Amino acid sequence: MLIPYAHLAPADGRCQFVRVAGTALLTALLFGCGSGGKSTTGASSYESSATLLAVRFPDPNDVNSEPETSPPQTASLVQSVEFTFSGNPDPNRINATVIPILDASNLPVSGTFEVAGSVVTFTPSLPVRPVGTTVNGQLDNGGAGLLFNQGYTIRLGPASFSFVRSVAPTLRASFPDALDSGGIFIRFRTLPTPTADAFRGVAATTPQLVDVDPVDGSSGISPNLFSDPDQLFPAPQRFQLSFDGPLNPATTNLNDTVFQLVDLDDNGLPLGIDLRLLENETDRALVEITPSGILPFGHMLALQYDAELQGLAQSGTPAGGPVVATTFTVATAPSGTIADAFVEDFDDNSREEGDIDQIGAGNLPADWNVNHSSILQAALEFDGDGALGRFLPAQPASGQTNVVILDTTSQTFPLLDGSTPDAKPNTVVIGGVFNFTDIDIPDGVSLQPAGSNPLVITATGSVRIAGDIVVRGDNGSSEFAYDSAITSIPGGASVAGGGRGGDAHPVAFFPADTINYLTLVTPQWAETGFGIDPVDGVMKRIGGTGAQSGILDVPVSGKYATDHEWGTCDEFRSGNSNCKIAGGGGGSHFREGLTPKDTSGNVMNGIANVLPDGTGKWIIRTDTTCLAGTPGAHPFADDGTTTNDYFGKLGQLKRLIGGQGGGGGGTLADAYYCGKWCELDSDTTNDNCCGPFDGFVNNNTRAASVGDSRGGGGGGGGGAFLLQALGAITLEATALIDAVGGNGGGGEGIACSYCGGGGGGGAGGMVILQSSTSVTVKQNAVIDVRRGFGDDASPDNDYLDCGNSGSGTAGDGGDGGNGLIQLQVPSGNIATVTFPGTTDTNGSIRPPSSWIDPTNTLAPVEFTPISVAISTWADFGRVIKRAPSNTNPVFSFSGLNGSGFVATDSAGNVLSPSTTDIVCGYLGQIDPGSKTYLKGEEPRADFIPLNATIKVEFQGADSIVDGSKEVDPASLTAWSSNVAIANGRQFLRWRITFDTTADNSQLSIHTRLPAVESIQVRAEF
């Protein structure tokens, strides 16, 4: 017998749970346990104002390194905050507006406020699912109010909450608020990654059961048929267990071993269930259990959980043995045959098979409930509409080049050169997607995009390219001057989704608001290269990092001189060339960029470095290392497999992304030896030692940066180019698609980085050619996405000597990563590429390793006429045990011909639609101009366009263990158009295949797409 709990109000006014013996239900006697701010105060009066006395961060499990009066820096995701006042606030006035606890975006943290007399406690929302790392590498906080590795702020005072008359002086002194002298401003931070302490911010108590549904001893419980068309049973039943505290949502704690639904009339056989943590709060947790299949008629079942069920702050795997929560009896089946039907009306996606690999290579997932349409429709991924007409640049005279510019930011048509004769006047295309019909780019024409968006060209017809398409990144600039560090060295530009290279020696002044040669200071770092963030599509500094600025020191008795001096006032470095300042890192794309390395593969650091101290002076570090640049952030999430490392609906890369820019080379702080640096060290004999030999000297002292040796700029990344055509794509022998990454520039020393660090190379770009017909790359045509190279530093001590340079010299910039090429055609075909050679430099595909999926098996073109939908498994549970044995359930389906296609007449009308178990139709086509249906293309019910077919197939399977909801892979039947193949099986699923060119027509933007409104499989047992 259950012993539930009831809310009672003790003398102190706080709500608590106490045992109430003999009661059958949980009773909420809310004596003073009010609403509003989840108050737990009694009937005490409320003050109009009070003093904030204390702020505390409760730490019941002693996991924070700070005392409870200090903001934690590695707080759990359920860290509460407690505010103590000198009076009692009105609970109805407490909310996130008056006591703002904000995230990094200044948005309120979700959670609850609890008022208990003069104490207000904020508790962030508790998690309802497991925490960890998702397949794309993101941290999942399980739905908690706080996120991992995030900072949070609390601002409270008279200016934010009128109830706060004042704040205790000790609090104001500890947490001063620059915006409110009478208030406080507190920062705290959460754990950087998931650990065992992620939820240790609440008391580690074992949850106790307080309520169940259905109650113990219930009978006539629904067996959970799918639709019960004869209405023989009560509505389907879900089971709920309520506990008096939060549960740990880890899969080790919430699974079908810890919670079980067992058949007491079948030797305690566990039945298949699905679990969901519906609610998780400081004083309540609600677990919902849903039977996976149909329950055994007339059997007594027990719902049980493990005695060692873990609370939120606890951890481990429960192994204490089962505790029965409730027992109940399933309704008895009437004599005779019971009818049921597994119905799908596509009003949500819960029954859509999520494993896209099961639809078959070369097929598309059909559009299931797209935009909440409650429709299943054949998919067509091609988005071009041919609105710009033909693209036909004129062929120039022999030996001349005709450059055609398409601005991916905003381009007005028709083009003035006459290459777009069909475009309507004053047509403006924004965003870089250009929709043509047929395309012919002759030899001598160079198509070059402007703007930062990727270049996307679609063709409803065919494409022929004999000229050039150039989306390459520019080289980084080199330092050709000497001791004139008054401007930055630009990184290489990039267009069409490639990242700009990082600048070397970004200009910096101190104080920052002064702009004067005499206030120039050495930048701490060269600039990081840019690249498109694959998550949000925004261009960010995520390319190769710039190298850190630094100075060189002469070893003295095996150590570096403590005064950081060369020993004379000679600004120019001579000798000891192996101590050059480091180069920038290479940008990344499909391949990761490189870090500057020596011939042994070691990262090449410079020697020592200088850091600003925030007061206008500088700290000279004595650890003798200067950080080299590092490779850019890799755009592909690491999910442990390379089989989906490609662009497309089924691949990991969801955006068009060019190569990242390389990082700038580091600055050598030569000016230290004859500039303001000398005034900042402890040696007074070297002050004012520079003569008045140029315009940058003031009182015999130069600006702190003018004499520096600047590094080289990073190379720009190659751009992104996508060409989609419903017709054939042909690259003639003279064709070139150039998406090479730019090279890094050289630091001071005439482009060979003798003093300053070399710029990192930009990554190669992305070239994707997609055709629903064919792709042909003729001999001598070239698609090039090779990396840009980091600048090779001078290998010896000779100024101006760039000879014998090679990778591995101190001061080198890192190389960029190679780009990505995809040549996609329909499944079963491959692109035709005629190779004149197989090396990186003389092959048609450069480099060959960048051609992803050359066999066209992983990622065939997505605008294919075949699209497929598969249902999840329908679990008929214990129906398989209903007499006569091994015959139940028996399935039926009507409306198909002998080959499994929906039966229609010669005009496409569905035969006998009233008795057909699949409801089909045609959604019509809308004129984009008038927004009305095209004549003859209006929607039609019970109709399949003559160009298309809809095929339905079925598959059956058994459970891997008796009673389980797990399908035994070894038991799967073949797919069949006869649903009887699943008779007697516990599991059934269907597959719908759309073919929109079944009449052998050419796929086009006007191809009619059929749709399905609903489907049902009938069952008897």
Q: Token pair of 804, please?
A: 């014998």
Cβ atoms of 254 and 246 within 8 Å: the answer is no
Distance from C-alpha of 83 to C-alpha of 323, rounded to nearest angstrom: 40
Q: What is the pLDDT of residue 452?
A: 93
Q: pLDDT class for 480, splitting at 50, 70, 90? A: confident
Question: What is the pLDDT at residue 803?
Answer: 60
- DSSP-based three-state secondary structure for 286: strand
Q: Is the pLDDT of residue 256 over 80?
A: yes
As to burial, measured by CB atoms within 10 angstroms (0-12 exposed, 13-18 middle, 19+ buried), residue 675 is buried
Who contacts 764 (Cβ-Cβ below 8 Å, separation ≥6)? Answer: 589, 590, 659, 717, 718, 739, 740, 741, 784, 785, 786, 787, 788, 816, 817, 818, 819, 820, 850
What pLDDT score does 171 carry?
Answer: 95
Transcribe 580-607 into DSSP letters: PPPPPPPP-SSS-----B-TTS-B--BS
How far apart, in whole angstroms, are the C-alpha atoms of residue 26 and residue 281? 17
Name every residue whose Cβ is closer than 8 Å to that of residue 890 and which is 6 or more positions away in sequence.
Answer: 980, 983, 984, 1019, 1020, 1021
Lowest mean pLDDT among 103-117, 188-202, 510-524, 984-998: 510-524
Chain segment 326-357, per-residue pLDDT in tens: 999 999 999 889 999 999 999 999 999 988 77
Q: How far is Cα 707 from Cα 699, in angstroms, rounded to an integer?
A: 16
Contact criterion met (CB below 8 Å) for 227 and 233 = no
What tokens does 344 get?
A: 């799908």
Phi, then psi, of 408 in degrees rounded to 5: -80, -5
Using DSSP, state whether 306 is helix, strand or coil. Answer: strand
Phi first, then psi: give them for residue 1013, nearest 5 degrees.
-90, -35
Q: Is the peptide bond before 884 cis (omega within 30 degrees of 0)?
A: yes
Listing DSSP states for 97-163 in one string gives: TTS-EE-TTS-BPPEEEEEETTEEEEEEPPPSS--EE-TTS-EE-TT-SS-TT-EEEEEESTTT-TT
Residues 6+ positions from 634 with CB-CB distance below 8 Å: 588, 592
Q: What is the per-residue pLDDT for 785?
A: 97
Mean pLDDT of 662-667: 94
Rounded Cα distance between 7 and 934, Å, is 66
pLDDT for the residue 751? 67
What type of residue is 771?
S
* Contact by Cβ (8 Å): 675, 452: no
- Does the pLDDT value for residue 789 go beyond 70? yes
Tell me the pTM.
Answer: 0.74
Bridge-based pairing state of the strands 455-459 and 269-271: unpaired
pLDDT at 972: 97
Q: Beta-carbon neighbour count of residue 333 at 10 Å? A: 16
- State the pLDDT at residue 307: 95
Mean pLDDT over 994-1014 rounds to 94
pLDDT at residue 570 in the model: 42
| Helix, coil or strand: residue 651 | coil
The answer to whether the beta carbons of residues 314 and 165 sit under 8 Å apart is no
Q: Between these two residues, 341 and 576, which has the higher pLDDT value?
A: 341
Instruction: Please state, rounded to an integer, the average pLDDT across all residues of the chain.
Output: 86
Write the CB contacts of 340 (distance below 8 Å, at least 6 apart in sequence).
225, 226, 227, 228, 229, 294, 889, 1018, 1019, 1020, 1021
Confidence at residue 407, expressed as pLDDT on a 0 to 100 scale: 97
User: Hey, what long-range contacts does 226-234 have (CB within 8 A, 24 or more apart)?
Assistant: 226/294, 226/340, 226/341, 226/342, 226/343, 226/874, 226/1019, 227/340, 227/341, 227/342, 227/343, 227/1016, 228/340, 229/339, 229/340, 229/341, 230/338, 230/339, 232/333, 232/334, 232/338, 233/331, 234/331
Among 274, 294, 272, 289, which Cα is nearest to 226's?
294
Question: What pLDDT score does 557 carry?
Answer: 45
Q: Which long-range contacts (CB under 8 A, 24 or more apart) does 136-145 make?
A: 136/637, 136/639, 136/652, 137/637, 137/638, 137/639, 139/193, 139/194, 141/77, 142/77, 142/249, 144/77, 144/78, 144/199, 145/77, 145/78, 145/109, 145/110, 145/111
Task: Give the tens place of pLDDT for each residue, 378-387.
Answer: 998 888 989 9
Q: Tell which wins on pLDDT, 598 or 915.
A: 915
Confidence (pLDDT) at 21: 27
pLDDT at residue 769 tops 50: yes
pLDDT band at 565 (very low <50, low <70, confident <90, very high): very low
pLDDT over 90 (residue 899): yes
**Most confident of the following: 542-551, 647-656, 983-992:** 983-992
Q: What is the dihedral of CA 695, 700, 703, 706, to 10 degrees?
A: 60
Q: Tens digits of per-residue pLDDT, 838-849?
A: 667 778 999 999
pLDDT-based confidence at 665, cuts 50/70/90? very high
Q: For residue 799, what pLDDT is reported? A: 60
Query: Of 93-97, 671-675, 797-801, 986-990, where does mean pLDDT reach its minimum?
Result: 671-675
Distances (CA, A) of 291 to 237, 306, 321, 680, 825: 8, 18, 21, 76, 45
600-616 mean pLDDT: 67
pLDDT in tens, 705-758: 777 889 999 999 999 999 999 999 999 999 999 999 999 999 987 667 878 899
CA nearest neighbour of 581 among 670, 663, 507, 489:
670
| Separation between Cα atoms, residue 391 and residue 389, nearest integer Å | 7
Tokens 């003729």 label which residue?
778
Region 130-134: mean pLDDT is 75
Q: Taking 90 as the threshold, does the pLDDT of residue 978 lie above it?
A: yes
pLDDT at 798: 59
Beta 111-116 vs 101-102: how paired, if at all?
A: unpaired
Predicted confidence band at 930 (pLDDT cuts at 50, 70, 90)?
Answer: confident
pLDDT of residue 513: 78
Q: Beta strands of 130-258 (E only): which ranges? A: 132-133, 139-140, 151-156, 164-167, 184-189, 209-213, 218-221, 239-243
For 386-404, give one letter per residue: b (16+ CB within 10 A) or e.
Answer: bbbbbbbbebbeeeeebeb
Q: Which of 1-10, 523-532, 779-788 has the lowest mean pLDDT?
A: 1-10
Task: Please list, residue by residue across 424-437, b when 16 or more beta carbons sit within 10 angstroms of its beta carbon and e when fewer do.
Answer: eeeeebeebbbbbb
- Looking at residue 1002, its pLDDT comes to 87
685 φ, ψ (degrees, to nearest 5): -75, -15
Q: Higher pLDDT residue, 644 or 192?
A: 192
Query: Do β-strands 866-870 and 364-365 pair in parallel, antiparallel, or remain unpaired?
Result: parallel
Q: Where do we find the tokens 């001893």?
A: 217
Task: Tell whether omega for the bond before 847 is within 30 degrees of 0, i.e. cis.
Answer: yes
Residue 718's nearest CA partner among 769, 657, 777 is 657
* Interval 296-310: pLDDT, tens: 999 999 999 999 999
List the helix and strand counts (H, then E) for the chain.
2, 61
Candidates 897, 936, 933, 935; CA nearest to 916 is 897
Quickly list H helices, 644-686.
Answer: 676-680
Torsion sign over Cα 587, 625, 810, 755: positive
Report the C-alpha gap between 259 and 325 in whole angstroms.
10
Q: What is the pLDDT of residues 205-235, one digit of tens each?
A: 999 999 999 999 999 999 999 999 999 999 9
Q: What percent of the chain has pLDDT over 70?
A: 84
What is the C-alpha separation between 81 and 68, in angstroms, rounded?
10
User: 247 falls in which pLDDT band (50, 70, 90)?
Assistant: very high
Backbone φ, ψ for residue 991 (5° rounding): -135, 130
Place 482 in a pLDDT band, splitting at 50, 70 and 90. Answer: confident
Q: In this model, does residue 146 exceed pLDDT 80?
A: yes
Max mean pLDDT among 1-10, 446-455, 586-595 falls in 446-455
**Runs of H (alpha helix) within 689-801:** none
